[in-house]
Amino acid sequence: MGLGGLGARGRHALVGRALVVAWVVLTFGRVVIPPAGLHAQYFGANNWSGPVLRDQIDRDVSTAQLRRGWDYTPPDVFSVRWRGYVYVSQPATYVFSLNSDDGSALYLDRRLIVDNGAGSRRATVALARGSHAVMVEYSQSGGPYALEWQWAIDSVSAMTPVSPWRLSIQARSGATLRLFAAVRLAWPPMTALVVVVLVAWALRTGRWPGRDEWGGVARRPIRADRRAGLACLAFCVLLAVVHTWPLASAPGQLSRNDNADTVLNEWTMAWVAHQLPRDPMRMFDANIFYPERRTLALSEPLIVQGVTAAPFLAAGASPVLAYNIVLLAGMALTAWSMCLVMWSWTDDWLAGLVAGIVLAFNAHTLTRLPHMQAQHAEFLPIALYAFDAVLRGSRWSATFVLAATVALQAFASVYLFVFVIVALSVALAVRPEDWWGPRMWQIVKRLLVASAASAVVLIPLFLPYLALRASGFVRSLDEAGWFAASTRDYLTTPARWYAWAGGATALFPGVAPVLLGSVAVVTARAIRDARARMCLATACVGVLLSFGPAWVPGYETLHGMLPLFQAVRTTSRFGYLGIVGLAGLAGFGLMMVRRQAMARPVLHAGLGVVAVAAVSLEPLAAPLELQPFHGVSPLYRTLEAEPGAVVIELPFPRPESVYLNAAYMLNSTAHWRPLVNGYSGFTPPSYVERYLELRDFPSDTSIEALRRLGVTHMVVHFERLSADQRDHLARRSDLRRLAEDEQRTIYLLNPNP
DSSP 3-state assignment of 572?
helix
Q: Check: CATH 3.40.50.150 for 38-169?
A: no
Q: Which residue has the higher pLDDT, 502 or 422?
A: 422
**pLDDT tens, position by position, 201-213:** 655 554 444 433 3
Stated as kind and residue range, the H or E segment containing 737 is: strand 735-740
Whether the per-residue pLDDT at 642 is higher than 60: the answer is yes
The contacts of residue 81 (CB under 8 Å, 6+ apart) are: 40, 41, 43, 48, 135, 136, 137, 138
pLDDT at res. 474: 77
pLDDT at res. 418: 94
Whether the per-residue pLDDT at 540 is higher than 80: the answer is yes
Shortest CA distance to 298 belongs to which of 741, 671, 708, 665? 665
Whether the per-residue pLDDT at 216 is higher than 50: the answer is no
pLDDT at res. 538: 96
What is the mean predicted confidence (pLDDT) over 345-358?
94
Measure the CA–CA gap between 82 and 105, rounded to whole angstroms: 10
pLDDT tier at 218, thresholds 50, 70, 90: very low
**pLDDT tens, position by position, 555-612:** 888 777 777 777 788 899 999 999 999 999 999 999 999 998 887 888 888 888 899 9
Angle at 519 between CA 518 and CA 523, to 5 degrees: 115
By the 8 A CB rule, do 336 and 236 touch?
A: yes
DSSP 3-state assignment of 1?
coil
What is the chain's mean pLDDT, rounded? 87
Query: How many CB atoms are closer than 10 A to CB 657?
Result: 11
Stated as kind and residue range, the H or E segment containing 38 is: strand 38-43
Shortest CA distance to 751 belongs to which of 717, 716, 703, 715? 703
Measure the CA–CA gap between 55 and 83, rounded to whole angstroms: 11
pLDDT at res. 696: 92
204, 210, 215, 216 alpha-carbon torsion, rounded to 10°? 110
Annotate 29-53 with b (16+ C-beta within 10 A) or e (fewer): bbbebbbbbbbbbbbeebebeeeee
Whether the per-residue pLDDT at 6 is higher than 60: the answer is no
DSSP 3-state assignment of 7?
helix
What is the mean predicted confidence (pLDDT) over 130-148?
92
Q: Which residue has the higher pLDDT, 9 or 699?
A: 699
pLDDT at res. 7: 54
pLDDT at res. 215: 33
Whether the per-residue pLDDT at 103 is higher than 80: the answer is yes
**pLDDT tens, position by position, 454-489:** 999 999 999 999 888 888 787 777 777 788 888 888
pLDDT at res. 16: 66
By the 8 A CB rule, do 710 and 666 touch?
A: no
**For the chain, what are the domain ranges?**
1-34+188-212, 38-169, 227-293+301-617, 634-749
Angle at 526 between CA 618 and CA 373, to 5 degrees: 50
DSSP 3-state assignment of 270?
helix
Whether the per-residue pLDDT at 647 is higher than 60: the answer is yes
By the 8 A CB rule, do 85 and 136 touch?
A: no
Measure the CA–CA gap between 651 and 714, rounded to whole angstroms: 10
Q: What is the DSSP letter of 134?
A: E
Q: Residue 703 burial by CB count (10 A; 0-12/13-18/19+): exposed, middle or buried?
A: buried
**pLDDT tens, position by position, 309-341:** 999 999 989 999 999 999 999 999 999 999 999
Q: What pTM was estimated for this model as a whole? A: 0.74
State how far the alpha carbon of 35 is from the alpha carbons of 32, 265, 390, 471, in Å: 9, 25, 50, 48
Measure the CA–CA gap between 152 and 535, rounded to whole angstroms: 64
Q: Which of 419-423, 498-502, 618-622 has the highest mean pLDDT?
A: 419-423
Q: What is the DSSP letter of 237?
A: H
By the 8 A CB rule, do 232 and 365 touch?
A: no
DSSP 3-state assignment of 515?
helix
Shortest CA distance to 38 belongs to which of 162, 196, 180, 190? 162
What is the mean predicted confidence (pLDDT) over 520-539?
93
pLDDT tier at 199, thresholds 50, 70, 90: low
Q: Which residue has the higher pLDDT, 65 or 27?
A: 65
pLDDT at res. 203: 52
pLDDT tier at 220, thresholds 50, 70, 90: very low
Q: Residue 661 burial by CB count (10 A; 0-12/13-18/19+): exposed, middle or buried?
A: buried
- Min mean pLDDT across 184-198, 419-433, 696-710 is at 184-198
Q: Which residue has the higher pLDDT, 265 or 439?
A: 265
Whether the per-residue pLDDT at 344 is higher than 80: the answer is yes
Q: Residue 7 burial by CB count (10 A; 0-12/13-18/19+): exposed, middle or buried?
A: exposed
Beta pairing class for 130-140 and 744-749 = unpaired
Total residue count of the chain as it appears in this document? 753
Measure the CA–CA gap between 448 and 463, rounded to whole angstroms: 21
pLDDT at res. 500: 57
pLDDT at res. 338: 97
E strand map for 141-258: 146-152, 160-161, 167-168, 254-255
Helix-helix angle 601-617:349-360, to 10 degrees: 10
pLDDT at res. 503: 58
Measure the CA–CA gap between 647 and 645, rounded to whole angstroms: 6
What is the mean predicted confidence (pLDDT) over 69-82?
87
**pLDDT tens, position by position, 236-288:** 999 999 999 999 998 998 999 989 999 999 999 999 999 999 999 999 999 99
Measure the CA–CA gap between 643 and 671, rounded to whole angstroms: 10
pLDDT at res. 422: 94
DSSP 3-state assignment of 89?
coil
pLDDT tier at 420, thresholds 50, 70, 90: very high
Whether the per-residue pLDDT at 8 is higher than 70: the answer is no
What percentage of the chain exceeds 70 in pLDDT? Answer: 91
What percentage of the chain exceeds 90 in pLDDT? Answer: 56
Terminal CA-to-CA distance of the chain, rounded, Å? 87
